[in-house]
Amino acid sequence: MSQATPTGVPRWLRSIIVLALIYLFLVGVSSLESGIKVMGADTQERLFSSVSNPIAGLFVGLLGTVLVQSSSASTSVIVGLVASGALGFDQAVPMIMGANLGTTVTNTLVSLGHVRQSNEFRRALAAATVHDFFNLMAVAVLLPVELITGRLSWLATQTADLLVGSGGSEWKSPVKAWVKHPVGWLKDGLGGLGLADNGLGIAMVAVGLCVVIAALIAITKNMKTLIAARLERSMNRVLARGGGVVAILVGVMVTIAVQSSSITTSILIPMSAAGVISLRNAYPVTLGANVGTTITALLAALASSGSDALTIALVHTWFNVIGIAMLFGIPFLRPLPIRAAETLASIAVQRRSVAFGWTLSVFIIIPLLGIAVFR
């Protein structure tokens, strides 16, 4: 049987392209931060006053992630905003949690593609919504704990201090210096077009947003091609060895490599639909994907000023690690997301509208209502 046709771009060239895209991504984050700083303090306050309520912040993070279909992009933007000082650290924490919730929409949408085959649909929807339920449960426990005690922020601050010293805002990222010139050229170029103050700031933020999202999409696409064989081998090992810690680590590694938890979790959906991987084995892979995706915000923090950017990125990591330790590590809690997903899938197989209603309400209607009520 003839072998698969290799794609046209050689591996070495694709690797160089990925490195260039990572650089472009860092330039985008830095441009975003610089753009916000160019705006006046009044404008900054007007922009972000609506998320001073933590519930509204949670829903803004959720909805923003649903819109760009990437928590990597939305958390990188949040990191940039925190670095610029426009978004307070306390406001950003619920937004990060919301971004974590919003990222699960992609595999839920993928599972809806199996709606015509009952058995496939049941398995696919359960595999997708187990991620939704895990994130919902993690937020339900950790957001109130954070609001009351601030322990998650404390943990992230301690970790940031360990990594960069306790100098706080004195910390200067070496990566920041590498991206300084392109951001300066962008600022000069836009200034040359006659833009100034808020207009210049808005233009820099818009360019930064576009660059961050486009670079992440291109990184993901190229990395998926580069590591496809490794990705397949890892998934086959999960099938051979079953779930557990190994599956979590595979989820982490694959997601770090492709820079997208949506890719990792969406790959699981057709495998689950076909019955190749069980829900119990797919579940830990999605948990690993949750942790792996936090690497992008950490990367974005490298291109940002001050230790707050790094700390908020670490909040994202710790939120997921603690969520796993709690909901997967405690034996009697472990089956809860699985049971919830199986129950929802069983109901949705009887009434397909439940699946569509779930997706619409969790990812669109409730966040919109939440923002309207709590802003």
Partner 1 sequence: MPLSFLKRAESPFERISHETIAMLGDARHSFDLASAVLLAGADASAIGADIRATDERINATEQRLRSELVVHVSVRGGEDIGLVLGYTLLLKKIERIGDQAKNILDLAEEGISLAGADDVADFNARRQEISQMYVEAADVLATGDAERAAAFLARTREMNADCERRLHGYMQSDEPGHWAVPRAILHRYWKRIVANLAGIVTSAIEPIQSLDYLDAGRTDIDD
**Footprint on this chain of partner 1 (rule: CB under 8 A):** 1-5, 228-237, 239-241, 246, 249-250, 252-254, 257, 267-271, 274, 276
Measured distance CA(330)–CA(339) in Å, rounded: 15
Shortest distance in whole angstroms from residue 225 CB to partner 1 = 9
Shortest distance in whole angstroms from residue 127 CB to partner 1 = 11
Judged by beta carbon, residue 214 or residue 239, the one nearer partner 1 is 239
Judged by beta carbon, residue 45 or residue 232, the one nearer partner 1 is 232
Judged by beta carbon, residue 205 or residue 257, the one nearer partner 1 is 257
Judged by beta carbon, residue 6 or residue 192, the one nearer partner 1 is 6
Q: How many CB atoms lie within 10 A of CB 346?
A: 13
Q: What angle do CA 178, 221, 271 make, to 5 degrees?
A: 140
Judged by beta carbon, residue 11 or residue 151, the one nearer partner 1 is 11
Measured distance CA(173)–CA(156) in Å, rounded: 18
Judged by beta carbon, residue 228 or residue 372, the one nearer partner 1 is 228
Residues 6+ apart with CB under 8 A from 57: 51, 91, 92, 93, 94, 95, 98
Shortest distance in whole angstroms from residue 282 CB to partner 1 = 11
Measured distance CA(267)–CA(211) in Å, rounded: 26
Measured distance CA(16)–CA(276) in Å, rounded: 35
Shortest distance in whole angstroms from residue 250 CB to partner 1 = 5
Judged by beta carbon, residue 47 or residue 239, the one nearer partner 1 is 239
Residues 6+ apart with CB under 8 A from 277: 127, 235, 238, 239, 268, 271
Widest distance between CA atoms in the chain: 67
Shortest distance in whole angstroms from residue 221 CB to partner 1 = 12
Q: Where are the alpha helices (DSSP H) in 150-274?
A: 151-164, 174-192, 197-226, 228-241, 245-258, 261-273
Shortest distance in whole angstroms from residue 212 CB to partner 1 = 26
Judged by beta carbon, residue 209 or residue 254, the one nearer partner 1 is 254
329-334 own/partner pairs: CB under 8 Å, 24+ apart: none
Q: How many CB atoms lie within 10 A of CB 332?
A: 6
Measured distance CA(287)–CA(302) in Å, rounded: 25
Judged by beta carbon, residue 148 or residue 229, the one nearer partner 1 is 229
Shortest distance in whole angstroms from residue 110 CB to partner 1 = 10
Shortest distance in whole angstroms from residue 296 CB to partner 1 = 18
DSSP letters spanning 300-356: HHHTSSSHHHHHHHHHHHHHHHHHHHHHTTSTTTTHHHHHHHHHHHHHHHH-HHHHH
Shortest distance in whole angstroms from residue 272 CB to partner 1 = 9
